[in-house]
């Protein structure tokens, strides 16, 4: 992931609603967990049977991503200082988790039926990380 996408990813995750119990940091951490969970499940796919077993898990992971994004969409943007702090603390983790997920997606595409498994993660796209559309400097 390029630097701009990485920064946009982290910034995008930083929206937070007052009184919802979510914090900017909790959204970022959940985003990292979701990406790592997706990579973990994808790593188990080696054949058609693996695809069939993984699809429901991948659907659930995709739903978690959507819910995390929805919470962030409803939240107030963080201050510039908070965005910068979270970028410093979490951009490497996001980049690593995103890379793992992309590598596994690429590998799984070559497995018979793998494209169907990848389709279950439609909302998790390397070129449009969580909430890039709400980032503002």
pLDDT confidence tier of residue 24, bands split at 50, 70 and 90: confident
Domain boundaries, the chain: 3-134
Average pLDDT over residues 52-67: 96
Q: Looking at residue 2, what is its pLDDT?
A: 53
pTM of the model: 0.79
- pLDDT of residue 29 exceeding 80, the answer is yes
Q: What is the mean pLDDT of residues 85-100?
A: 87
User: Given a cut of 90, is residue 11 above it in pLDDT?
Assistant: no
Q: What is the DSSP string of the chain?
A: --HHHHHHHHHHHT-B-TTSS--HHHHHHHHHHHHHHHHHHHTT--SHHHHHHHHHHHHHHHHHHHHHHHHHHTSBPPPHHHHHHHHHHHHHHHHHHHHHHHHHHHHHHTSTTHHHHHHTTTT--TTS-TTGGG---
pLDDT beyond 60 at 68? yes
pLDDT at position 80, please? 84
- Window from 46-55, 93-102, 123-132 with minimum mean pLDDT: 123-132
Percent of the chain topping pLDDT 70: 75
């Amino acid at each position: 992931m390029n630097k701009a996408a990485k920064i946009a990813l982290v910034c995008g995750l930083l929206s937070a609603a007052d009184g919802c119990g979510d914090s900017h940091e909790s959204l970022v951490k959940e985003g990292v967990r979701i990406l790592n969970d997706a990579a973990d499940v994808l790593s188990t796919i080696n054949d058609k049977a693996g695809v069939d077993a993984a699809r429901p898990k991948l659907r659930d992971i995709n739903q978690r991503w959507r819910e995390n994004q929805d919470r962030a969409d409803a939240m107030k943007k963080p201050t510039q200082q908070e965005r910068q702090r979270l970028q410093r603390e979490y951009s490497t983790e996001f980049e690593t988790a995103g890379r793992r997920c992309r590598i596994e997606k690429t590998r799984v595409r070559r497995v018979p039926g793998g494209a169907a498994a990848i389709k279950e993660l439609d909302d998790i796209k390397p070129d449009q990380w969580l909430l890039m559309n709400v980032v503002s400097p």
